[in-house]
Amino acid sequence: MLSVVVDKPNSMSLCERPLPEPQTGEVRVRVRYVGICGSDLHIFHGKNPFVTYPRVIGHEFVGQIEAVGDGVNTARMGEMVVVDPVISCGHCHACRIGRQNVCSRLQVIGVHRDGGFSEYACVPAKNAYVIPRNLPLASASIIEPFAVAANVTSRTGVFPSDIALIYGAGPVGLNLLQVLKRVYGIKAFITDHLDERLALALACGATQDEIINTSRETLPEALTQRGVEGGPTLIYDAVCHPSILEEAVRIAAPAGRIGILGFSATPSAIAQQELTKKELSLYASRLNCAMFPTVIDWIERGLVDLSHIITHKVDFHDVASAFHLAESAPRESCKVLLDFGGPSGNAS
Ligand code: MN
Ligand code: ZN
């Protein structure tokens, strides 16, 4: 089989590798689509502290089960599935309190073990979720980044009276927008410096007055002009630059909550006074904690549409140009998928 292998930072190649055999409790998936994530770019550039090389990356993938290991019901053969990349031990403190996405022995598919940038991938059977019957397979590859958005909203909670602000209209910010607008039905502002990304925000349910181009408007004034008194009550940082958290803490309303998703090693300068004075809560969110069933339920109920952010499907042989597109063309691209040529199932 052919796999995209990152041998070391900034070095990637298509390699012929032996077909992996599913171990006990695993299934082998013939991969169709894999999303390219910002974290894949970080691994490629050697900026992920957890990864070991060489590595087949990719954690946002869909395909068809075509072999099962011992202990897995053979009836699962042929299922079209999407894979939750989180593998946990089940015994540590985090696992015991239901926070297995931060398991002390966490294994992330595509980070700690080989992932989906490959014609075939073996994964634990319980990580492979059947995708909704009428959902196009390409859209199903957005379930993982949607679960990331679902996770941070489950961490912060969402009240009907919340006024939300999302920093950044990239894939996660846009997914968050759909969760807030379409699942919870609250007011949600979203910022970006690119009109093209804000146009996607409109497609994802923002109203004209909820989009803010921060290359033309400064944020506190833009919010005041839009009638937000006293600051947003719920803020998400989907840009993940250290300066964002500093501003979020300044502009948040009293009793506000802030969801953070970044992995920057650079400190943010925050005075404790800012937090204490308003009794702000910070919620860090990593990956997702068993949120796939929730996202699949939202899809089946017609609440959310995962197709909006997909801008490109690129044949996996052209992985270098796909990476270039994902990294260097933010006006034309949002979510770029690699197509590994597997079956499209009934849905497609
Ligand atoms: Mn991702
Ligand atoms: Zn654990």
Instruction: Specify the 3-state DSSP secondary structure of 78.
Output: coil
209 alpha carbon – ligand 1 mean position (Å): 29
Kindly state the DSSP code that residue 55 receives in the 8-state scheme: B
Residue 348: predicted pLDDT? 42
Using the mean position of ligand 1's atoms as its centre, give its distance from the Cα of residue 59 in Å: 6
pLDDT given for residue 49 in this prediction: 85
Q: What pLDDT score was predicted for residue 141?
A: 98
DSSP state for residue 22 in the 8-state scheme: P
Name the closest ligand to CA 101: 2
Amino acid 344: pLDDT: 83
Q: What's the CA-to-centroid distance between 110 and ligand 1, angstroms?
A: 10
Walk along the chain (348 residues) and give the pLDDT tens digit of each residue. 999 999 999 999 999 999 999 999 999 999 999 999 999 999 999 998 889 999 999 999 999 999 999 999 999 999 999 999 999 999 999 999 999 999 999 999 999 999 999 999 999 999 999 999 889 999 999 999 999 999 999 999 999 999 999 999 999 999 999 999 999 999 999 999 999 999 999 999 999 999 999 999 999 999 999 999 999 999 999 999 999 999 999 999 999 999 999 988 899 999 999 999 999 999 999 999 999 999 999 999 999 999 999 999 999 999 999 999 999 999 999 999 999 998 886 544
Can you read off the two tokens belonging to residue 110? 């595509």
Q: Where in the chain is the domain with CATH 3.90.180.10?
A: 2-142+309-339
Q: Which ligand is nearest to the CA of 104?
A: 2
DSSP string spanning 127-140? GEEEPPTTS-HHHH
Query: 């073990």: which residue's tokens?
Result: 113
Distance 273 CA to ligand 1 centre (A): 34
Tell me the CA–centroid distance for residue 131 and ligand 2, in Å. 26
Which ligand neighbours the alpha carbon of 97 most closely? 2
Residues of the chain with CATH 3.40.50.720: 149-285
Q: Report the separation in Å between the CA atom of 299 and the middle of ligand 2, taken as the mean of its atom positions.
A: 29
pTM equals 0.97
Of residues 240, 54, 40, the one with CA closest to residue 141: 40
Predicted confidence at residue 346, as pLDDT, reads 52
pLDDT for res 347: 46
**In the prediction, which pLDDT does 176 show?**
98
Ligand closest to the CA atom of residue 146: 1
pLDDT at 247: 97
**CA dist., res. 32 & res. 17, Å (int):** 17
Give distance in angstroms: CA of 92 to centre of ligand 2.
4
DSSP 102-163: G-TT-EEBTTTB--SSBSEEEEEGGGEEEPPTTS-HHHHTTHHHHHHHHHHHHHH---TT-E
Closest-lying ligand to the alpha carbon of 48?
Answer: 1
Q: Rounded distance, CA 4 to CA 17, Å? A: 10
Ligand nearest to the CA of 109: 1
CATH class of the domain comprising 149-285: alpha beta
2-142+309-339, CATH topology level: Quinone Oxidoreductase; Chain A, domain 1 (3.90.180)
Distance 86 CA to ligand 2 centre (A): 11
